C-alpha cells in the first residue's frame, strides 16, 4: 500500500541501512547492523522519519524493506527500536523471522 509521496521515493539500500534523502538530507531511514554476524542476526536499532513525511506509512515501509533484505540473507531480526517492536506486535504474521535467545 502506498500513500502520498511514498510511491515516488527512491530508496537507498545498503548493507545495514535503508534511507531516503532529498538534497543530501536524510528524511527517512532504518538501520540494522549485525547483532550476531555468525548467526546472521540483525538488530533493528533505529528508525527515523522526518516530521514532514510522518503519517504516510513510510516507517512501516522501511521495516518491510529491511525485513526483505534480512530474508534474502536467511537471517533473523532482533528488534530493539521502539517503533520496530511495536510494528512486530501489530504484525504477528512476521514473528517467524524474529531471533530468540537460546
Q: What is the pLDDT of residues 58-73, one digit of tens each?
A: 999 999 999 999 999 9
CB-based burial, 45-72: b 16+ in 10 Å, e otherwise: bebbbeeebeebbbbbbbbeebbebbee
Q: What is the pLDDT of residues 3-56, one digit of tens each?
A: 455 556 899 999 999 999 999 999 999 999 999 999 999 999 999 999 999 999
Residue-level pLDDT at 30 = 98
| pTM exceeds 0.75 | yes
* Local structure of 70: helix, strand or coil: helix
Residue-level pLDDT at 41 = 98
Amino acid at each position: 500500500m502506498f500513500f502520498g509521496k511514498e510511491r515516488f521515493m527512491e530508496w537507498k539500500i545498503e548493507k545495514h541501512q535503508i534511507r531516503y534523502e532529498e538534497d543530501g538530507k536524510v528524511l527517512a531511514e532504518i538501520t540494522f547492523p549485525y547483532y550476531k554476524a555468525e548467526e546472521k542476526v540483525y538488530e533493528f536499532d533505529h528508525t527515523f522519519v522526518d516530521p514532514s513525511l510522518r503519517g504516510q506509512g513510510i516507517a512501516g515501509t522501511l521495516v518491510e524493506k529491511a525485513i526483505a533484505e534480512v530474508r534474502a540473507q536467511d537471517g533473523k531480526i532482533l528488534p530493539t527500536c521502539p517503533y520496530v517492536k511495536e510494528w512486530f506486535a501489530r504484525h504477528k504474521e512476521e514473528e517467524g523471522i524474529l531471533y530468540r535467545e537460546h
